[in-house]
């Protein structure tokens, strides 16, 4: 369970999106991988499933033993009163985003994103359905709070889907109980179907995470929630997540998924089961580490003139504002790549409300962050 060092050779060989594209002098703090190896408990779960020869077709929605564990967790942790009929294992959280858009949106519909800026596939999947993304920005001048008046104003007769990300990528905001109640009420008053991405529920660093679908039976029926394993357990390569909803939407979605993929990979499901049953000790050690990395990151950014960074309550991301340098986010990204040999992500990738910001992933070892921020600080000082 060591988080003090990373295995850079392994990452440069294996982490195909985050590390392998870059030469050896480059530090990537961009793609949302964590830099640590698979928890042993998860590997053991997969080995057990291999020994059981889980190779024939499995059950459509998920292996019964896996669904049982998922339901127990949804009831205990999320307070969503799910039974196995309400749950479907899916190949990755991203698939949940796709299914929500595919199920709900028709050409010309609007999908309202709450809050913006947002993880880019939300926008891509809306546009792939020939629908229109509409953005309800966080209030950057008020601690990233939701602008609920704006949310109401943005609803039109064409609004078909309300898409929520909580905890929020890229800002790390965790919505409060009052905010969630208000969002739920707006959805009910306007009879909207809601999608909530709760992938980062296990990366809460301050405060508490609440699930919208837990607030009332009506919200359970009008909300499709996706939960995943890719981030907190660092296993995105296994492509495993699950969706939950009660009633007619789930019945239709279930049919559509069966026609597409039959079911989700049985070994990946075994990884999910092991994470839920045996992952708590690993998770709590990792969260302590992540919190230290968050605090170190904020300390370093706080010392750089011209950078202003809201404090994230969850996720492995900070989303600092760098607009004072008079360059676009992408120009700063290109400059840091060349001058500091550090890769960060442009806020503009997260939609129009992300311009002026950078997204930095701090889920790595302290030594990596120290070197990266020495270089970032040195490069930005030259711009001041």
Ligand X SMILES: Cc1ncc(COP(=O)(O)O)c(C=O)c1O
Interface contacts to ligand X, rule CB under 6 A: 32, 92-94, 119, 165, 169, 197, 199, 228, 230, 236, 241
By C-beta, is 169 or 329 nearer to ligand X? Answer: 169
Crossing angle (nearest 10°) for helices 248-261 and 93-104: 110
Residue whose CB is nearest to ligand X in the complex, by number: 92
Distances (CA, A) of 180 to 21, 244, 296, 350: 39, 18, 30, 22
* Residue 94 beta carbon to ligand X: minimum distance, rounded to whole angstroms: 3
* Residue 18 beta carbon to ligand X: minimum distance, rounded to whole angstroms: 11
Nearest to 17 by CA among 365, 350, 345, 374: 345
Q: Computed over its alpha carbons, how large is the radius of gyration of the chain?
A: 21
By C-beta, is 164 or 307 nearer to ligand X? Answer: 164
* Residue 202 beta carbon to ligand X: minimum distance, rounded to whole angstroms: 12
* Residue 56 beta carbon to ligand X: minimum distance, rounded to whole angstroms: 25
* Residue 339 beta carbon to ligand X: minimum distance, rounded to whole angstroms: 27
The span from the CA of 219 to the CA of 366, in Å, is 41
CB 161 within 8 A of CB 106: no
Q: Where are the beta strands (DSSP E) in the chain?
A: 27-28, 87-90, 110-116, 132-139, 145-146, 159-165, 193-197, 223-228, 241-244, 317-318, 342-343, 345-346, 358-361
Tokens 């919505």, located at residue: 175
The DSSP-derived string for 155-182 is --TTEEEEEEESSPTTT-----HHHHHH
Tokens 């994230």, located at residue: 312
How crowded is residue 310: how many other Cβ atoms within 10 Å of its Cβ?
Answer: 18
Nearest to 114 by CA among 98, 130, 136: 136
Token readout for 89 is: 């294992």
By C-beta, is 228 or 351 nearer to ligand X? Answer: 228
* Residue 167 beta carbon to ligand X: minimum distance, rounded to whole angstroms: 8
By C-beta, is 234 or 304 nearer to ligand X? Answer: 234
* Residue 58 beta carbon to ligand X: minimum distance, rounded to whole angstroms: 19
Burial of 108 (0-12, 13-18, 19+ CB in 10 A): exposed
* Residue 237 beta carbon to ligand X: minimum distance, rounded to whole angstroms: 9
């Amino acid at each position: 369970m060591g988080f003090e060092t990373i295995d850079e050779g392994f990452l440069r060989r294996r982490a195909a999106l985050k590390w392998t594209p870059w030469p050896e002098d480059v530090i990537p703090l961009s793609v949302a991988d964590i830099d640590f190896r698979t928890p042993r408990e998860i590997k053991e779960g997969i080995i057990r499933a291999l020994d059981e020869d889980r190779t024939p077709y499995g059950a459509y929605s998920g292996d019964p033993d896996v669904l049982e564990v998922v339901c127990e967790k949804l009831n205990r942790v999320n307070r969503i009163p799910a039974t196995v009929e309400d749950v479907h294992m899916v190949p990755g959280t991203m698939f949940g985003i796709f299914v929500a858009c595919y199920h709900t949106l028709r050409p010309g519909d609007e999908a309202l994103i709450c809050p913006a800026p947002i993880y880019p596939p939300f926008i891509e999947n809306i546009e792939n359905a020939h629908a229109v993304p509409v953005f309800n920005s966080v209030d950057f001048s008020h601690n990233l709070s939701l602008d609920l008046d704006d949310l109401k104003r943005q609803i039109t007769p064409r609004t078909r889907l309300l898409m929520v990300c909580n905890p929020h990528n890229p800002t790390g905001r965790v919505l409060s109980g009052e905010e969630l109640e208000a969002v739920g009420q707006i959805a009910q008053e306007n009879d909207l179907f809601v999608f909530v991405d709760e992938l980062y529920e296990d990366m809460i660093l301050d405060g508490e995470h609440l699930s919208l679908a837990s607030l009332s039976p009506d919200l359970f029926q009008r909300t499709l929630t996706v939960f995943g394993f890719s981030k907190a357990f660092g296993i995105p390569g296994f492509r495993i997540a699950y969706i939950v909803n009660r009633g007619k939407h789930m019945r239709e979605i279930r049919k559509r998924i069966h026609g597409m993929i039959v079911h989700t990979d049985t070994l990946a499901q075994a990884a999910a089961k092991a994470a839920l049953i045996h992952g708590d000790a690993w998770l709590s050690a990792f969260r302590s580490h992540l919190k230290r990395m968050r605090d170190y990151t904020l300390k370093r950014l706080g010392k750089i003139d011209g950078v202003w960074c809201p404090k994230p309550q969850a996720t492995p991301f900070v989303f600092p504002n760098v607009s004072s340098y008079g360059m676009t986010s992408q120009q700063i990204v290109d400059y840091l790549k060349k001058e500091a040999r550090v890769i960060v992500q442009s806020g503009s990738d997260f939609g129009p409300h992300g311009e002026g910001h950078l997204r930095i992933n701090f889920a790595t070892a302290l030594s990596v962050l120290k070197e990266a921020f020495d270089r970032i600080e040195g490069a930005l000082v030259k711009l001041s």
